[in-house]
Amino acid sequence: MSSSELKNDRILRAFQRQPVDRTPVWMMRQAGRYLAEYREVRAQAGSFMGLCRSPELAARVTLQPLERYELDAAILFSDILTIPDAMGLGLNFVAGEGPVFEHRVKTAADIDRLPQPSAEKELRYVMDAVAACRKELAGQVPLIGFTGSPWTLATYMIEGGSSKTFAASKSLLFNEPEAAHRLMAKLADTVADYLNGQVEAGAQALMIFDTWGGALDPVRYREFSLAYMRRIVEQLPREREGRRIPVTLFTKGGGQWLEDIADTGCDGVGLDWTTSLTDARRRIGDRVALQGNLDPCMLHANPEVIRREVARCLEEFGHGPGHVFNLGHGIQPETPPENVDAMIRALHELSPAYHDAAATSATS
User: What residues are labeled active site?
Assistant: 29, 33, 42, 79, 156
What is the distance between the alpha carbons of residues 239 and 237, in angstroms, rounded to a whole number?
6
- State how far the alpha carbon of 10 is from the alpha carbons of 17, 192, 243, 244, in Å: 10, 26, 13, 13
What is the distance between the alpha carbons of residues 143 and 139, in angstroms, rounded to a whole number?
9
Nearest Cα residue to 30 out of 133, 126, 99: 133
Q: Does residue 144 contact residue 26 with C-beta atoms inside 8 Å?
A: yes
Decide: residue 223, CB within 10 A, 0-12 exposed, 13-18 middle, 19+ buried: middle
Strands 247-251, 268-270: pairing is parallel
Beta bridge partners of 147: 208
Residue 114 neighbours by CB under 8 Å, 6+ apart: 87, 88, 105, 183, 186
Exposure on the CB side of residue 203, measured as CA atoms within 13 A: 29
DSSP reduced 3-state for 25: strand
Torsion of CA 298, 301, 305, 311, to 10 degrees: 30
Strands 239-240, 243-244: pairing is antiparallel
Decide: residue 362, CB within 10 A, 0-12 exposed, 13-18 middle, 19+ buried: middle
What is the distance between the alpha carbons of residues 27 and 295, in angstroms, rounded to a whole number?
11
What is the distance between the alpha carbons of residues 152 and 158, in angstroms, rounded to a whole number?
10
Beta bridge partners of 206: 145, 247
What is the distance between the alpha carbons of residues 83 and 147, in angstroms, rounded to a whole number?
9
